[in-house]
Amino acid sequence: MKIISWNVNGIRAVEKKGFVDWLLKSGADVVCIQETKANPGQLSQALISPGAEVPQLTGPAETDGATNGILYHSYFSSAKKPGYSGTAIYSKTEPDSVETMGDGRFDDEGRVTIAKFNTEKKDKKLAVISAYFPNSQDAGARLDYKLAFCDAMKEKCDALVKDGFNIVLCGDYNIAHKPIDLANPKANEGNAGYLPEERAWMDTFTSAGYVDTFRHFCEEPKQYTWWSYRFHAREKNIGWRIDYQCVNPSFIDKVKSSVIMSDVMGSDHCPICVEVEG
């Protein structure tokens, strides 16, 4: 099973840069999207039902031609504020259920979409989470909100694991965990995304057993997922690794690989991908 996560920084904008074609050729079983900046009513049919020749299909189907028979079902959690935040999940297989956080503080900003699979199959239950963690902003203006979201997310993950689910928490965490995860750690110690409180939460999360899958496989520096649009930062690889796919500890043995897809353009972030057995 191949699971991709990508902060697209505006799904309508990335559509103009070939997103649907990329999605249909990605080979992914599930694609988690963050920062959609739109609600479904604003989207083209190509974004609602990628690969479908007829609108609003409710079950698995195949199409002909350039789509190679691929069809993705789409699920969106949108912010009340227009053009802001938002998450989505595309899945080849219809999930058994799709949920949000169940907390208005975060659902009002479309921060989370959760797809549950194999809910009736013991030892095969899987929850794939697309999460857009808040930015703590300059001078920590939204740090309290950010940390409240982080704590609520850990509680959600704990509850899912207790209920027998394996979890893949995909998304833009807006946190560079350790000095290796950004190009200029010293210069950014007081900046959003690298505040001590944010890094401490990541310590708490991973100390609880949740595994940063990329670092499980790769300990090399200069591996980033976000670059500023300014100063040719991506060209110079002056970036931050703030996008993650974390799993519960009992699931890590099923993770075959975890990679950064830095060659994929279209956003200031690049996609990341895990492959898991089954």
List the catalytic residues: 172
Pairing verdict, β 2-7 and 30-34: parallel
Strands annotated E in 151-210: 166-172
**Cβ-based neighbour number of residue 146 at 10 Å:** 25
At residue 163, what is the residue type? D
Q: Cβ distance 165 to 127 under 8 Å?
A: yes
Q: How far is CA 77 from CA 131, 150, 197, 245, 254, in A?
A: 10, 18, 27, 19, 28
Beta bridge partners of 98: 115
Side chain identity at residue 185, one-letter code: P
Q: DSSP 3-state assignment of 127?
A: strand
How far is it, in rounded angstroms, from Cα 132 to Cα 150?
10
